[in-house]
Amino acid sequence: MDNLQSFHGKKVHGIVITDELLKELSDTGRTQVMTFRDRLGKQFLGHFEYDEGNLNVVREAKHLGQRCPKCGGRILITSKGYFCENCLKEKPTCRFHCNGILSHRFITPEEVDSFLSGHPTIIDGCFNSMGHVFSAVLTENETYGITLSSVVGKCPVCGGDVLVSPVAFNCSSYQKCGEPYHFSIWRHFKGYSLSLKDVHELLTIGKTSGKATLYNAQGHISKAHLKLAHNKNGIIPDYS
């Protein structure tokens, strides 16, 4: 505390060091978040930290819950999107990032966190260069960090790519086969919204591992696994 007293009354980035601030520093090693000013008068949020005789101003920043899959660094939320802290160093050692806007769609922190945790969600409301609305999922790209892709798996009928749309999951090869949507399943079934995990299981093993909560026309509730229909064009409940 004696060393801290030497800072009493000093003004640092527009903040006067008071007895109350010195007590906070003495008790916890840091202060509450305050509004500072830089040399140009621009405001920024930060707090004081006291370490080995030095009084430091630490700028506030917000990070995602998940860490960078490349180097383990924290991922910062910035004005341009989500960047590994090691991308933003004077000499960057990592390139991992996700732009905040992809295909004219704002990507939320929760969506990036879900992707990094291994539980990606469907991104609706995207627009392509022609102005057409489409849906997609986040996917990793060596050049761009994280980008969008509508591919969610392989068709169990022909092996073509299955694409997510705003309303369904459709085989991309239907035009080549001359059979409109020979594989297609709706994204919503009897009041239940299919997750990407459900879709992956349906495409690979033909049945979901978990039970879905389903509703009938009278509002009665039941629980059942979902499985592909015999013609693999749609899904049906499996109560067994």
- The residues spanned by each domain of the chain are 4-59, 63-149, 151-238
- Helix, strand, coil percent content, the chain, rounded in steps of 5: 15, 40, 40
Strand partners, 36: 44
The answer to whether 108 and 62 have CB atoms below 8 angstroms apart is no
Q: Per-residue pLDDT tens, the chain, 240 aa: give them.
A: 557 888 888 899 999 999 899 988 888 889 999 999 998 889 999 999 988 778 899 888 999 999 999 999 999 999 999 999 999 998 999 999 999 999 999 999 999 999 999 999 999 999 988 889 999 999 988 766 799 999 999 999 888 899 999 999 999 886 665 555 578 899 999 999 999 999 999 999 999 999 999 999 999 999 999 999 988 888 999 998
Maximum pairwise Cα distance, the chain: 84
CB neighbours of 91 closer than 8 A, spacing ≥ 6? Answer: none
The pLDDT tens digits of the residues spanning 81-96 come to: 999 999 999 899 999 9
According to the model, what pLDDT value does residue 9 have? Answer: 87
Provide the pLDDT for residue 178.
Answer: 53
Distances (CA, A) of 148 to 63, 76, 81, 172, 213: 22, 20, 14, 17, 30
Residue 185 corresponds to which amino acid?
A: I
